[in-house]
Amino acid sequence: MGCMNSKKSADSSSGKDPKNKDAKDPRRVYTPASHDNDEWGAPVPLRPKAKSGPVPPVTPVSRKKQAVGSGPLPRANASATGASPGKYTPGTPPGKSPTYIIDRPVPNITIPLPTQPKPVFVPKPKAPDPKRSSKSGILYQDTPYSKTVEGGAPPVVVESGLGDQCLPPSGSKTVKVPEGNYELNFSVLSQRGHYPDQLRKANQDSFTIHTSFGGDPNDHFFGVFDGHGEYGQHCSDFARKHLWKNMLNDSHYPNDVVRAFHSAYLKTNSELHKHSQYDDSMSGTTGITILVRGRKVYVANVGDSRAVLGVRKSKKVVAKDLSFDQTPYRTDECERVKAYGARVMTLDQMEGLKDATVPCWNDENHDDGDPPRLWVADDMYPGTAFTRSIGDSVAEKIGVTAVPEVLCLELRPRHPFFLIASDGVFEFLSSQAVVDIVALYQDPKEACLAVVKEAHRLWLKYETRTDDITIIVVHVDGLKDPNKPRRQSHGEPQLSDGASSIPPEAEDERDLPSKSSRPVRSMSRIRLRSEEEAAVDSEKWAS
């Protein structure tokens, strides 16, 4: 292999023919990466000689293509697969030799090496101020309550390329539910967000799936947790590991699922407060969990992650929210936190740009990037845009609580699937838009990929960053209606206990947003359904 040319004076003094590019200079350390015309070659610094022992092998590093505008990235932990702007691709290209560091004595001769031209990068637009772009999580971390956590787990970096997502080993899983004689076919996908000013920021989303929950083949547990704040990753991971255990160990389980959910959320919250390695004073996590028990589904929620049910209506599948985002936009939640002394104002109101005595927000469809937040009475923190969460011990003093809202419903044959996802999915996609995408795919794995891809595309279209995105899609296959109406002799239907006299097609459904316009948060921003509609669907709420 040839090497880069040195100056003619150096070539002549060494007795080497300057025209012979293949002649090796004994005064140089040669590596395959030093080829002048090698597009895979990257400058590799010499490793300092170790005092003793062999030199450990070095992982080959290559830089095949780097998109203009992406900027240089650290070479450590680069694991992108596929063409992703600004990412280094590890491994050895076909027909190329790996790069090695050769530790051997080098003659004490200074030979100036030709410098490679530096690539010209077009900088991306500066990311918007997080105070304006963040719609959930902690607005301010620079407060007297912030402190450094020692001994915490190191952040896990998941690259944001579509090839670096978290999926089950086989993509999709199928479990049987003997009690209802049907199957659940599910898949999950978690996509790390892209932050131009924090390229190595960890994925703060996490998820958990437990089939045959507690050893019962009829019980299956699903959960998504969206961390926020400086230590949101740790809070999310803590809830993922402990909430399901606390539920199984609760005295009310399995006889009273609603009370068991309440106890599990509160105990997990209390344990997080007491944990010596995690500072949750200004950090926390949402929690959306579903327990499938036979034909029933229990949904427990704190925060603004979301659960959505697909309901087959005529030839269309419509979205039906199984959770309602707990934010100051909800009148009931706003009044509740005010009773604890919270000030509910937007950032413009806090900075004196708008009248602080008059609410200046309408609904979450038109929040113009400045949603109402919660503040202590005499200072400008914590600035949370949610009213319930796990963690957030400072915000608890002004009404933020870990008490979940729990919904119970019965699965029916007209329910082809349900899903749970973090708010990164619903920032620019309505619940109906997500259901429309999922309904196109028979494989939940492909449905997850399509939803994440579309959510990611819209983030980059309207923002210079993307949030962490996590979704679990569960298909309900083979479910039959055990309460099929029987006809009496005179022709009138005879209804069994719990069956509705109103056909599914006659159910009152909300108007869905037009897909021709830019999708925004919509479906979960509307207040809880009326009791009449809930009664029709055999649902009950418990707070």
Q: What is the 3-state secondary structure (H, E, C) of 303-358?
A: CCCEEEEEEEECCEEEEEECCCCCCCCCHHHHHHHHHCCCEEECHHHHCCCCCCCC
Closest CA to 327 of 272, 296, 286, 277: 286
Tokens of 181: 């004689």
Count of residues in the chain: 543
Question: What is the average per-residue pLDDT within 164-175?
Answer: 63
Terminal-residue alpha carbon distance, the chain: 72
Tell me which of 534 and 423 has the higher pLDDT.
Answer: 423
Q: Looking at the predicted structure, is the pLDDT value of residue 115 above 80? A: no
Superfamily covering domain 131-482? PPM-type phosphatase domain (3.60.40.10)
pLDDT per position as a tens digit, 338-385: 999 999 998 888 888 888 877 887 766 656 678 899 999 989 999 999
- CA pair distance 331, 324, nearest whole angstrom: 12
Which region among 19-28, 376-385, 532-541 has the lowest average model confidence (pLDDT)?
A: 532-541
Question: What is the average per-residue pLDDT within 102-112?
Answer: 44
The domain ranges of the chain are: 1-123, 131-482
pTM of the predicted structure, to 2 decimals? 0.63
469 Cβ partners below 8 Å, 6+ apart? 189, 190, 191, 193, 205, 421, 422, 424, 425, 452, 455, 456
Question: What is the average per-residue pLDDT within 146-160?
Answer: 29
- CA pair distance 396, 379, nearest whole angstrom: 15
Q: Looking at the predicted structure, is the pLDDT value of residue 101 above 80? A: no
pLDDT cut 90: percent of the chain above it:
48
